[in-house]
Amino acid sequence: MKNKNDSKIMSAARVVGKQISLIVLALLFATVFLAVSGYEPFAILNGITESLTVDIAGTIRWATPLILSGLAICVTYKAEVFNLGVDGQIYMGAAAATAVAVIMPESMNHGVSVVVIFLTAMAAGAAFAMIPALMKVYLGTDVIVSTLLLNFVAELFIEYLVTGPLKSPEENMNMNASKVLNENTWLPRISFLEPSSANIGIYIAIVLMLFLTFVFFRTAFGHEIRIVGANPVLARYAGIKPKKTILQVMGLSGAIGGIVGAIEVTAVQHRLLAAFNPDFGFDGIVVSLLANNNPIGVLFSGIFFGALKNGGINMERITDVPSAITDIVTAIIFIIISAKFILPKIRNPKMKKVRSSEGGK
């Protein structure tokens, strides 16, 4: 028994080691890239180090939406549903949150109004995710393309809201935004991290992470997700309904996306801004893939990308290094993950003997 646990720890360590070497590789690329283009080569490394030490607050601010987006992604990817529409779900969650917050009377109890806002945002995100999910289930439409297109629809819908129905009544405002929300609708920030906009959304992220870990590994639903993802034909044959599972995971993913939108509106911006979302949904894909779609891993991977993002922003403020370098690092990690050569299937050498009867295949 002890032996088995040891080998499990070993193989987990191997996975983590691989992912870390992947990060190192990408950072190395970026450092060389900076040097070649005549910037301070260690700017990006300094930025990350700073983010993980003195400016942990900034990191938490960025890590919160990234972890949540990563969770929204990993729910669907476990079931092999390639949902690229988390960004759209975030937008819709934000729109719903704002719409409710705007009409929420100032006298409303703080806790109640925040809960109502978040539930509405979750419902809106889930409902928006149902569009591609239903298209997939009833028409067989590829989720990848439909979600990509719906992202643009959602983004333009927000633009419409903040230039139209939800436009701030303030005069001479040259930004597309709603009015500032009443304080009783704000999701509290973490007081000891002020003045950063780091907020209690990080606790929501951690609770959700634990919840999903439990769902994946300890519930019948988690087992169904795994089987549908591994082989939908097997699922059908065994009496699991893959269509139902697809709808469930998309709904769950959409609800989590909605939470991201609500957090950005009620805790960070305190208003709805036209382009408040710097593609958290796409970053969520990297966050989740780097973590092998494991919720616990998503937490750490989300913190890393939060630090990277925060480091990039800080770096741009102090030095002349463009923060776009962080997007390049993310993209490099992304493309390396896509290649199978970095992550060969981990197979126990002991098992090779058993296979030998298949030698001629």
Q: Which residues ranging from 313 to 342 are in contact with another protein (CB under 8 A)?
A: 322, 324-328, 330-332, 334-335, 337-341
**Closest to 139 (Cα-Cα) out of 243, 241, 230:** 243
Strands (E), 51-192: none
Q: Give exposure, 309-327, as e/b (b: 16+ Cβ within 10 Å).
A: bbbbbbbbeeeebebebbb
Contact stretch for another protein (CB under 8 A) within 12-20, 205-213, 233-241, 265-273: 233-241
300 binding another protein? (CB under 8 A): no
Q: Which is nearer to another protein, 193 or 343 (CB)?
A: 343
Answer yes or no whether residue 142 interacts with another protein by CB under 8 A: yes
State the SS3 of 72-94: HHHHHHHCCCCCCCHHHHHHHHH
Minimum separation from the CB atom of position 119 to another protein (A):
22
Binding to another protein (CB under 8 A): which residues in 91-130? none
Instruction: Find the shortest distance in angstroms from Cβ 128 to another protein.
Output: 13
Phi first, then psi, for residue 360 (nearest 5°) are -85, -5
Residue 199 phi, psi dihedral angles, 5° rounding:
-135, 175
Q: Which of 159, 169, 213, 303 is the binder for another protein (CB under 8 A)?
A: 159
Q: Which two tokens stand for residue 99?
A: 């719409």
Please, what is the end-to-end C-alpha distance for the chain in angstroms?
A: 34
Shortest CB 203 distance to another protein, Å:
24
- Rounded to the nearest whole angstrom, what is the least distance from the CB of residue 238 to another protein in the complex? 4
* Nearest distance in Å: CB 31, another protein: 14
- Per-residue binding string, another protein, 196-225, x by CB under 8 A, is ---------------------xxxxxxx--
Question: Judged by CB under 8 A, which stretch of 56-64, 133-141, 191-199, 248-256 contacts another protein?
Answer: 133-141
User: Residue 334 in contact with residue 289, Cβ under 8 Å?
Assistant: yes
